[in-house]
Structure 1
Amino acid sequence: MTVVAGSLVTIVPVIATVPILPPFGLLMLLTWRLLARFALRPWAAAPLGFLDDLLSGQPLGSAVLLWSLCYMAIDLIERRMILRDFWQDWLIASGAILFCLAGGRVLALPVGAPVDGALLVQAGSTILLFPLAARLVAWIDRKRGLA
């Protein structure tokens, strides 16, 4: 539900001169995958990405592809690194965020579109919000375990 809620943030009418709203759905998906490995099934990235595509206006299938690729890459990283700490999770999430935003830019916009500055600001703000998302996911996971 938190991934869906994060994707729903894109439909809130926000007036901005530069579109730098972070992709909260992606942020929540990555946070759940990195902090609570078994909370989401491996196939969950595809339908959640489809829902995000429907809500955000990206071309259909872009988040499905990019989120699924991130999920598989994180699985490969986990097979190599048995123990991780928060800084490594933050680095992995940063790489996945940059990959998804750059991939979404390639899939959605013409190559000559001047959006690279806004994309960098959006990526930076999303990466800086990862610790806050991690606290939220840890709190929800702790409350979920008590119920």
Structure 2
Amino acid sequence: MIDPHLHHVPRLGRHPSRFRLEATPIITVLLGSLLTTLPVIAQSPIMPPFGLLLLLSWRLLRPELWRAWIGVPLGLFDDMASGQPIGSAMFLWTVALIAIDAIEHRMVWRSYRQDWLIATLAIIFCISGGLFFARITGGGSVRFLLVLPQMVWTILLFPFVVRQCARIDRWRVMA
């Protein structure tokens, strides 16, 4: 016999929790930033900046999700996790988000290729800027060619990361 107190609650009309809606993208970016703490041994930077990739993916996938100032706290966390000079990712990520906002206000519509181009420009800007900040704060004389493979790898990985964010986003908004 079926217990009348244990009835099936339909999912129609239900909404996901506010925490799930707002915290999921932030948590994924924080976890992406923590990936730089994995013990990968290499003579040159090859590990893509997953925090940046996830930030750009979420921003281009869901433009209404964040304001440009979100680059400050998420960039601070990334700076602390990656060992970059404090303030570098905070500045670079915020400038990249402001630039994306400016580009979006000028475009009538965007396609997948345009998103990839926007992300490519932001990736080149942020990795080059990170190299600049590392140089001026005493990080030695690292050459641009040394980070070029990391840049290319990050740009090529962007479509995969966007697809994963889209999967997470479907779960995030699901009741």
TM range (shorter): over 0.9
Structure with greater Cα Rg: 2
Bigger shift: 132-141 or 104-113? 104-113
The 8 Å contact of residues 54 and 60 in structure 1, kept in 2 or not, is answered as: yes
Distance in structure 1 (CA, Å) of the matches to 2:117 and 2:36: 25
Gaps of 5+ in 2: 1-26
Q: Which residue of 1 is the match for residue 47 of structure 2?
A: 21
Q: Among 119, 131, 139, which residue is 2:159 paired with?
A: 131
Please report the RMSD computed on the Cα atoms of aligned residues, expressed in angstroms: 1.5
- In the alignment of these two chains, the number of paired residues is 147
Distance in structure 2 (CA, Å) of the matches to 1:92 and 1:62: 20
Bigger fraction of residues in helix: 1
Once the two structures are aligned, what percentage of the paired residues are identical? 52
The 8 Å contact of residues 72 and 94 in structure 2, kept in 1 or not, is answered as: yes
- Aligned in 2, Cα 1:112/1:57: closer, same or farther, shift over 3 Å? closer
Q: Which residue of 2 is the match for residue 5 of structure 1?
A: 31
Give the TM-score normalised by the residue count of structure 2.
0.80
Q: Among 86, 92, 97, which residue is 1:66 paired with?
A: 92
Gaps of 5+ in 1: none
Q: CA deviation at 1:118?
A: 2.3
Bigger shift: 5-14 or 112-121? 112-121
Spell out, residue by residue over 1:43-92, the C-alpha distance to the aligned partner (whole angstroms, 9 max, x if none).
21110000000011111100000000000000000000021011000000
Give the TM-score normalised by the residue count of structure 1.
0.94
Q: CA deviation at 1:114?
A: 4.0
The 8 Å contact of residues 92 and 129 in structure 2, kept in 1 or not, is answered as: yes
Q: Which residue of 2 is the match for residue 36 of structure 1?
A: 62
